[in-house]
């Protein structure tokens, strides 16, 4: 059985651990709250987006990838 990673699941976990709201997350990422909602639902995302999310939530990329499972 193939186990796929789901980036949105990791975004939710990272945001929860950081204790930040969608509005605060959007402010830190210099984007809109609607974009944060899209990230939370997204199965795949580009590396630069993952890096931005990690910077905003204070985690490293390897930790983020661990949340994807």
Residue with tokens 């490293």: 60
pTM here is 0.90
DSSP assignment string, 4-21: ---HHHHHHHHHHHHT--
In the chain, what are the domains?
A: 7-67 (1.10.260.40)
Model confidence over 21-60: pLDDT tens digits?
Answer: 999 999 999 999 999 999 999 999 999 999 999 999 999 9
- Distances, alpha carbon 11 to alpha carbons 1, 8, 51, in Å: 24, 5, 11
Is 3 a residue whose pLDDT tops 70? no
């Amino acid at each position: 059985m193939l186990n796929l990673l789901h980036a949105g699941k990791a975004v939710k976990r990272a945001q929860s651990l950081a204790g930040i709201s969608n509005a605060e997350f959007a402010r830190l990422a210099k984007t809109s709250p609607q974009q944060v909602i899209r990230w939370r639902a997204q199965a795949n995302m580009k590396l630069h987006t993952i890096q931005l999310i990690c910077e905003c939530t204070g985690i490293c990329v390897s930790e983020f990838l661990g949340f994807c499972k």
